[in-house]
Structure 1
């Protein structure tokens, strides 16, 4: 009998015990390597996150100094109960799940093992070599950027998009300065002198954050998008110095002659970004103008874009400066690490507790993060980009 005096049948007991066994967490070894992409200073797990995973029974192995540039030293991880390993090779060797910030780069390809779960930003559509390397690895590749909720929001892309959008304006303002090769403009202007004009292409999270910050600095802002409902919403919430514009080649060309700073903020989840500004269109911009391509992770939305680094962030084409750093939030790693791990941690816990298969069965948004699984391409946009066979994960 139970506490309320009701008889519990044998069937009910068996059902209850079966559910307990089914829900019991597995033990998963988690590896946190130090990011080796140029000037990538973020880390994928805070000491607090490590402590919570360890409390749930999951051993955590952190590479020496993985968090140092984000403000988290080895001692903090040790105090949380994590193990420190001296090399990246040792982390990949021991871990069943690798949690990263940025996509693996060439020195890491050979370290990834069959069936190993790799949870990070991948942006496969812009990296053919990476795509084929992960197919060959036979790993389970779950991409932050394609985890998608029913309302079409991208919960693991949003925090870094917020940072990148604001940083695009901060960096844009800096590179409009004459010592950085710019026009010598103060983005806000001063009484009696006009402010800079900023054109933001894309009204999503990146674009709206860029427009808000530019407006707050006093710039004259135009934000363009192809969604009229989105433009109506933006026109209601944006400050008075932000105007909305339907995005078309003609309308963009009309704006360029009076624009000082262009922010490329277009996103098609998991797919290559479209080129909204061609090389031919650069002639409409005045010399010394600057274009910041936040979409460079997905191939860039300017025809003349190619990835740059924080060490060497810009180059000039036809008199127009291009800033195309592929990991803009890496410049502010403390803020970015906390913002990112706030979003990723619940998914890390689910993957660790349940294993990737069960976690993805129970959470359709997480399942959409599955891009490459054991050599098979399971995300349609990636398959389409490279002409590969698409194999739905349900199969």
Structure 2
């Protein structure tokens, strides 16, 4: 099969859909790879790396014109013109937060499989997990930076020092993002609280963190008590293919101390904090009600060398199936089939259908 890999166009998005190692694995199986020139340079992969792996270096249009297109992020408005009927697109989509893209995919007739909705029988999301790990770890790394006074923060050192209390990190959601955020915050010496609605998950977190983390059931009362005390508030809520619920109201944000920091990883699904809005790596923060907000939806793009390889470790087996069997791969792999969001001008994924019922046939 002919496979195209365009260069990402989102602000400072340096990840690339396929690494040279993945390209080699595909070309050795007889597939033809068309990589947009300089698509991987931001992640540390040169054009020569791709040539040696067996790929052809091509223009933007040529990369997009292939029957299978593999990306990292959702197509942006300038890329809509490249979407073609019958084309198979494999990438992150997060359609619940993007009606315009959803409508475009429906209108153009592309078949779109979203990384974030490929689902294993035990409900794990194998293609979302590696980026969730990175985003969770970066959330605290970023948050510690934005707490610095020169960045508009309170001037709090998360780890504190002997004689001075550490900073407090409150994490909404104890899934992969929340767990990894807690792991880094604990390593920095911060005081950490995690809130989650699953008692089973809280029990699991106790088994790995013990008494180093305060674990609370995510009730409105507990959220209202925890948020005002946070130096760093991390939104880490995930609802599969749906908008994240708003757990922290604007009024509650206003009870936080000036210079505190909010980082909402759920921003690509609408966000779980009312005052959050998408930002970018070029302009990552804004201040509202005296609180520093960070809503970068492609946070792992800050570490593209690590993130590209981590993503490819998970996506390559599915790319190989799509390359080998085309759409028949969905019949052979029920996990991959759950990733199908749009096909033949129809909205397929049940959770996305619930978000946009008026777009369902």
TM-score by length of structure 2 reads 0.98
Deviation at residue 255 of structure 1 after TM alignment: 1.1
Query: Is the 8 Å Cα contact of residues 141 and 373 (structure 1) preserved in structure 2?
Result: yes
The answer as to whether partners of 1:377 and 1:388 remain within 8 angstroms in 2 is no
The Cα shift of 1:248 comes to 1.4
Query: Residue 320 of structure 1: CA displacement?
Result: 1.1
1:92 and 2:64 matched? yes
Question: CA–CA distance in 2 between the matches of 1:302 and 1:191?
Answer: 33
SS in 1 for 2:34: strand
> How many aligned residue pairs are there?
361
How far has the Cα of 1:389 moved from its partner? 4.9
Q: Write out aligned runs for 1:250-269 (5 A).
A: 250-269=221-240
Residues 52-104 of structure 1: CA distance to partner in whole angstroms, max 9, x if unpaired? 1111111000000000010100000001110001x2112112x1100000000
- Paired residue secondary structure (2:211): coil
Q: 2:299, 2:144 → 1: CA distance?
A: 14
Deviation of the 1:275 alpha carbon: 0.5
Q: Secondary structure at the match of 1:222?
A: strand
What residue number does 2:173 align with? 202
1:358-379 superposed Cα distances (whole Å, 9 cap, x missing partner)? 1111111100100001210001
Contact residue 195 and residue 220 of structure 1 kept, 8 A: yes
- 1:64 aligned to which of 26, 29, 37: 37
Extract unaligned runs of 5+ from structure 1: 1-27
1:314-325, aligned counterparts within 5 Å? 314-325=285-296
CA contact (8 A) 1:371 1:378 kept: yes
> Aligned partners of 2:96, 2:147: CA distance in 1, in Å?
31
- Residue 52 of structure 2 aligns with which residue? 79
2:241 pairs with 1:270: yes
**Shift, 1:283, TM fit:** 2.4
1:211 aligns to 2:182 (yes or no): yes
1:380 paired residue number: 350
Provide the rounded CA distance (Å) in 2 between the counterparts of 1:90 and 1:273.
36
Matched, 1:29 2:35: no
**Aligned partners of 1:236, 1:48: CA distance in 2, in Å?**
37
1:109 offset after TM fit, Å? 0.7
Alignment partner of 2:277: what SS?
coil
CA distance in 2, matches of 1:258, 1:136: 47
Query: CA shift at 1:390, angstroms?
Result: 4.2
2:1 aligned with 1:55, yes or no?
no
Contact 2:4-2:62 within 8 A present in 1 as well: no
Correspondences of 1:40-189 after superposition (within 5 Å): 40-85=13-58, 87-93=59-65, 95-189=66-160
2:340 maps to 370
The whole-number CA distance in structure 2 between the counterparts of 1:269 and 1:137 is 25
Q: Give 1:137 shift.
A: 1.3
Match of 1:313 among 270, 275, 284: 284
Return the TM-score normalized by structure 1: 0.90
Correspondence 1:347-362 to 2 at 5 A: 347-356=318-327, 358-362=328-332
What is the distance in 2 between the residues matched to 1:258 and 1:35? 39
Paired with 1:295 and 1:217, the residues of 2 have a C-alpha distance of: 23
In structure 2, the partner of 1:238 is 209
Partners in 1 of 2:350 and 2:38 — Cα distance? 37
> 1: CA distance between counterparts of 2:40 and 2:292?
33
1:18 maps to: none
Question: For residues 249-290 of structure 1, what are the alpha-carbon distances to aligned partners after superposition, in whole Å with 9 as ceiling and x for unaligned?
Answer: 111111122210000000001001110101011122111111
Native 8 Å contact 2:228 2:252 kept in 1: no
What secondary structure, in the 3-state scheme, does the structure 1 residue paired with 2:292 have?
Answer: strand
1:239, CA displacement in angstroms? 5.0
Distance in 1 (CA, whole Å) between partners of 2:325 and 2:63 is: 21
